[in-house]
Amino acid sequence: MLFPDYRPRRLRQNETLRRMIRETHLRADDMILPLFVTGGNGIQNPIPSMPGQFQLSIDRLIGVAGEAFELGIPAIILFGIPDKKDPEGSGAYKKDGIVQLAVRSVKDALPELAVITDVCLCEYTSHGHCGVIADQQVDNDATLELLARAALSHAEAGADMVAPSDMMDGRVAEIRETLDESGFSHIPIMSYAAKYCSAYYGPFREAAGSAPQFGDRRSYQMDPANSIEAIREVTLDVEEGADIIMVKPALAYLDIIRSVREEIDLPVAAYNVSGEYAMIKAAAQMGWLDGSKVMMETLLAIKRAGAELILTYFAIEAAKVLEASS
């Protein structure tokens, strides 16, 4: 059927009709809020390149997590900022590390909020890499055991899910085995499966103090040029026991989200990363675009591409928009 018999505008003429044929809906349930936790009390340090985001001490973290929970956001993901770093990243797997303490406190205060922990070493290593160093290289196999210890320490503290973000080969299997052996076979793994070596992580590294002190992450994170390889990476993590597959970043990788959604029969998450957040905030502050509208359009696009779950610093702001429009 062609014009003038068919007129697509017929179904766009008012909001009622548009609502009836709308294909994608963003919900608070779809979002996971990333939060940065640091030591001390009453601390709420603004992160300059991420307006509206803070490094929070545990007491303040509980306040923000509670606000998210009230708005219907089901989960947070925690990143720790330790007071000391060392070459082995021991703060990542200490029983009383900052994330382990934060998990205990948040679960006490908000038992129904799902607490996910990011499992990596880069926030805790003095050199800023995601694993231990041998001969100026990140040593894959020596790192696996430390990642598994970190994941186990999070589960012991009460984490509901662990999310390895390091991109070492074999880490999902190692973490799965360690959790299973220790009575945590019920704890799911959300794997950062297709994680690209991206300049969009810049603001996060400022927030977490995790920029590498030498070199870069190209020997472990994926080359932005590759998409077939993403399917191979994701397939490996599925075989190793991942429960949720993540693609990261989101906006410049919508094609990857779509192809992973088509190839894999597990829930797909996408990380709307710090640089994506910063770009929208900066342009909105300049008055160059409508920040709230671009935020909603962006999150909807990530969902439309195929992600059921979106990790986003916008979670609270977007949930407020959704609440106001319901």
CA 35, CA 56: separation in Å to the nearest integer? 8
Q: What are the counts of helices (DSSP H) followed by strands (DSSP E) for the chain?
A: 11, 12
Backbone angles phi, psi at 54, to 5 degrees: -140, 155
Query: Segment contacting ligand PBG (CB under 6 A): 1-9, 39-47, 99-107, 117-125?
Result: 117-125
Q: Which is nearer to ligand PBG, 69 or 79 (CB)?
A: 79
Give least dist CB 274 to ligand PBG, A: 3
148 interface partner picked from ligand PBG, Zn ion, none, CB below 5 to 8 A per type: none
Query: Segment contacting ligand PBG (CB under 6 A): 11-19, 114-122, 262-270, 315-323?
Result: 114-122
DSSP string, 31-87: EEEEEEEESSSS-EEE-TTSTT-EEEEHHHHHHHHHHHHHTT--EEEEEEE-S--BT
The footprint of Zn ion on residues 104-133 (CB under 5 A) is: 120, 122, 130
Q: For 82-85, which contacts have Cβ atoms below 8 Å and span 24 or more sequence positions?
A: 82/39, 82/123, 82/124, 83/39, 85/124, 85/125, 85/126
Residue 130 touches ligand PBG, criterion: CB under 6 A: yes
Give least dist CB 215 to ligand PBG, A: 12
Q: Which of 94, 104, 107, 205 binds ligand PBG (CB under 6 A)?
A: 205
Of 181, 134, 135, 126, give the one whose Cα is nearest residue 156.
181
Q: How many residues bind ligand PBG (CB under 6 A)?
A: 11
Residue 274 touches ligand PBG, criterion: CB under 6 A: yes
Q: Which of 84, 85, 195, 281 is catalytic?
A: 195
Q: Which is nearer to Zn ion, 71 or 163 (CB)?
A: 163
CA 164, CA 190: separation in Å to the nearest integer? 7
User: Catalytic annotation on 195?
Assistant: yes
Q: Which of 78, 268, 273, 302 binds ligand PBG (CB under 6 A)?
A: 273
Q: Which is nearer to ligand PBG, 187 or 208 (CB)?
A: 208
CA 46, CA 283: separation in Å to the nearest integer? 19
Q: 275 by DSSP, 3-state: which? A: helix
User: Catalytic annotation on 248?
Assistant: yes
**Positions in the binding site for Zn ion (CB under 5 A):** 120, 122, 130
**Positions in the binding site for ligand PBG (CB under 6 A):** 118, 120, 122, 130, 165-166, 201, 204-205, 273-274
Active site residues: 195, 248
